[in-house]
Amino acid sequence: MSKERFPGAMSRRGAIKTALAWGAGVALIDPLTGLAAPEDEKKPVPADPKAPARSVIQIWLAGGPCHLDTFDPKPEAGNDFSGPLAKPIPTSVPGVMIGELLPMLAQQADKYSLIRSLTHGVNAHETASYLVQTGHQPGEGLVHPCLGAVVALLKGYDHGYQGLVPPYVVLTTSQGRFSESGFLGEQYAPFATGGDPNQKRFAVEGIISEEISDARLLGRRELLKTLDTLGMALPTSPQFDRFNQAEKKALVTVAKAGTLFDLSQEKDELRNRYGRTTFGQSCLVARRLVEHGVRYITINSGGWDTHKQHFQIMRRMLPELDRGLSTLLSELSERGLLDSTIVWCCGEFGRTPRVQWAPPWNGGRGHHGKCFSVLVAGGGFKGGRVVGASDSRGEEVTDRPVHPQDLLGSICKLLGIDPAAKLPNDRGLDLQVMPSTEGGRGLLAEIM
């Protein structure tokens, strides 16, 4: 990945002007474009009380955060388990305690529920990432799409989605552990923004470009039209037709989607509340995308694989998470969006409850897939609840095991996707959207 920054940041006015110029180009090219390119989708949510969710924000803590230091503290287990983070704090929900480095989230506890009994038993990053995001066991000779790609398929362009950006967006880079779109192919792959929303200009790849004058952009476009000699020689090719359709859509996006990612439209005070970090500002972008109607947004936050220096790193990273996520929840709620937006936050596994004090780890934690926690909020999930429990050390699930497919199946249900339905695919495979545990009894009915 390139670590270079882009010189010559483009002003906001410049970006809008450029976008308008492109828009003019589109109108010239094809006044009959079938794409309505709607302004922000603010139509009322269809009133289906059983499927209130319209969008999902997945906050992915890649590498696996420790459940003991976040949502399932075990101070009684002693220093070998809690280490220096031994003083969990009460939350706005009586009786529910969370980690001491999450004070802002503690104030929002009525908005989310905690599942303390997520389990799959796998301790390898890539397989656990696959399990938690697809709900499917490996070993079937194929790779299932992750939930975002399923939503892009079943709630995307073919099902009434008309947003300016693809229905499944990743902030800012993909995880690279497995193919997120699986056998569905790149049509349903996430649109990864690239860039950094915490920079002065959030350079979203393909949407926010280097400064080039309007006249030159239009000129280039006209030049391209003149030089498309093969396209003109083959006017009836179905392949080229698909290409032209994709280009039409892209030009509308270039013309109009820039403002979606323009955080200078937000008040500084609000941007500070989210935290001036890549993660915090990603949460703010996610809110803007939800307002626009984007179906599924994944925020990939890396650096949670803390085999060494675990507690030092937690003291740096948990406050960032606390600030960004708690502001996201409260803002979604203030804007009336939380009822139709699911937020879920976890990593591929938890971390070993027993601290590895000995060298070479010197106070680190390993991988722990047997028992970990996930936060779920909004979109029909009740707040203020705790589901399941772990033992006194957070090592094993003692009550109400929740498997990844139960969590994802519940999210599907709230989106109006039947988890037991067949998943349409062009490979002729007879597959279910989500495998069911215990005939579907695993779904999180108690908080839905």
Partner 1 sequence: MWVMWTESNGFRRLGPIGSLLLVVATLLSTPDGGRAGAPPVPPFEIERPASTSPIDPLVLATLEKRGVVPAHLCSDQVFVRRVHLDVIGTLPTPDEVKQFLGDTGPDKRSALIDRLLGRREFADFWSLKWCDLLRVKSEFPSNLWPNAVQAYHRWVHDAIRDGWPYDRFVRELLTSSGSNFRVPQVNVYRAVQGRTPEAIATSIALTFMGVRLARWPAADRARLAAFFSRVAYKGTSEWKEEIVLFDPAPNPPVDAAFPGGEAVRIPSDRDPRLVFADWLIKPDNPWFGRNIVNRVWAWLLGRGIIHEPDDLRQDNPPVHPEVLALLEQELVKARYDLRHIFRLILNSQTYQQSSIPQGSHPDAEALFACYPVRQLDAEVLIDAICGITGVGEDYWSAIPEPFTFIPEYQRTITLADGSIGSAFLEMFGRPARDTGLEAERNAQPTEAQRLHMLNSTHIQRKLARSDRLKRLVRVGRNKPAELIRLIYLGVLSRPPTDEELAAVERYARTIGLNAQQIGQDLIWALFNTKEFLYRH
> Minimum Å distance from CB 314 to partner 1?
21
The two three-digit tokens of residue 276, written as one number: 């001036």
Q: Is 234 in the site for partner 1 (CB under 8 A)?
A: yes
DSSP 46: P
Q: Is 210 in the site for partner 1 (CB under 8 A)?
A: yes
**Count of residues touching partner 1 (by CB under 8 A):** 70
Cβ closest to partner 1, residue 182 vs residue 379: 182
Cα 382 to chain centroid distance, Å, stands at 20
- Rounded distance between C-alpha atoms, residue 95 and residue 78, angstroms: 20
The region of 110-118, 169-177, 264-272, 307-315 touching partner 1 under the rule CB under 8 A is: 169-177
What amino acid occupies position 19? A
Taking CB under 8 A as the criterion, which residues in 334-363 touch partner 1? none
Q: How far apart are the C-alpha atoms of 7 and 335, rounded to whole Å?
A: 36
- Tell whether residue 177 is a contact of partner 1 (CB under 8 A): yes
Could you say whether residue 192 binds partner 1 (CB under 8 A)?
yes
Q: With binding defined as CB under 8 A, does residue 220 bind partner 1?
A: yes
Q: Which of residues 412-431 bind partner 1 (CB under 8 A)?
A: 427
Q: Name the segment binding partner 1 (CB under 8 A); options: 133-141, 317-325, 368-376, 412-420.
A: 133-141
Residue 32 within binding range of partner 1, rule CB under 8 A: no
Which one of 132, 254, 285, 375 is in contact with partner 1 (CB under 8 A)?
254
**Strand boundaries in 279-412, DSSP class E:** 296-301, 341-346, 350-351, 367-368, 372-377, 386-387, 389-390, 397-399
User: Measured from the CB of residue 410, what is the shortest distance to partner 1 in angstroms?
Assistant: 24
Helix boundaries (H) for 335-402 = none
Site track 102-131 with partner 1 (rule: CB under 8 A), x = hit: ----------------------xxxx-xx-
Mapped onto helix, strand or coil, the DSSP state of residue 262 is coil
Instruction: Check residue 173 for interaction with partner 1 (CB under 8 A).
Output: yes
Of the pair 2, 95, the CB lying nearest partner 1 is at: 2
Q: Is 378 in the site for partner 1 (CB under 8 A)?
A: no
Closer CB to partner 1, residue 364 or residue 394? 364
**Per CB under 8 A, 270 contacts partner 1:** no
Query: With respect to partner 1, which residue has the nearer C-beta, 19 or 342?
Result: 19
| Interaction of residue 215 with partner 1, rule CB under 8 A | yes
Give the total residue count for the chain.
Answer: 448
CA distance to 155, 381, 384, 413, per residue, from 49 (Å): 17, 12, 20, 11
Using rule CB under 8 A, residue 439 touches partner 1: no
Cβ(394)–Cβ(72) below 8 Å? yes
Please tell me the distance from the alpha carbon of residue 356 to that of residue 367, in angstroms, as a whole number: 11
Q: How far is the CB of 87 from partner 1 (least distance, A)?
A: 34
Does residue 49 touch partner 1 according to CB under 8 A? no
Q: At what angle do helices 238-256 and 12-29 cross, to 10 degrees?
A: 150
| Cα separations in angstroms, 82 against 8, 85, 100, 118, 230 | 48, 5, 11, 20, 66
Q: State in angstroms the smallest separation of the CB of 184 from partner 1.
A: 11
**Which residue in the block uniquely carries the two structure tokens 């609000």?**
270
Q: Is residue 36 at the binding interface for partner 1, with CB under 8 A as the rule?
A: no
Nearest to 380 by CA among 53, 17, 24: 53
Residues 6+ apart with CB under 8 A from 412: 147, 150, 418, 419, 433, 434
404 binds partner 1 (CB under 8 A): no
DSSP reduced 3-state for 417:
coil
Instruction: For the chain, give the longest Cα–Cα distance.
Output: 76
Contact between 401 and partner 1 by CB under 8 A: the answer reads no
Q: Which residues contact 157 (CB under 8 A, 6 or more apart)?
A: 167
Kindly state whether residue 314 participates in binding partner 1, applying the rule CB under 8 A.
no
Nearer to partner 1, 182 or 380 (CB): 182
Question: Does the footprint of partner 1 cover residue 230 (CB under 8 A)?
Answer: yes
Under the binding rule (CB under 8 A), the answer on residue 242 touching partner 1 is: yes
Residue 75: closest CA among 425, 393, 345? 393
Give yes or no for residue 206 binding partner 1 (CB under 8 A): yes
With binding defined as CB under 8 A, does residue 178 bind partner 1? Answer: yes
CA–CA dist 61, 267 (Å, integer): 27
Query: Taking CB under 8 A as the rule, does residue 30 contact partner 1?
Result: no
Site for partner 1 in 2-21 (CB under 8 A): 2, 6
What residue ranges bind partner 1 (CB under 8 A)?
1-2, 6, 124-127, 129-130, 138-143, 166, 173-179, 182-183, 185-187, 189, 191-192, 194, 203, 205-210, 212, 215-216, 219-220, 222-224, 226-231, 233-234, 236-237, 239-240, 242-243, 245-247, 249-251, 253-254, 427
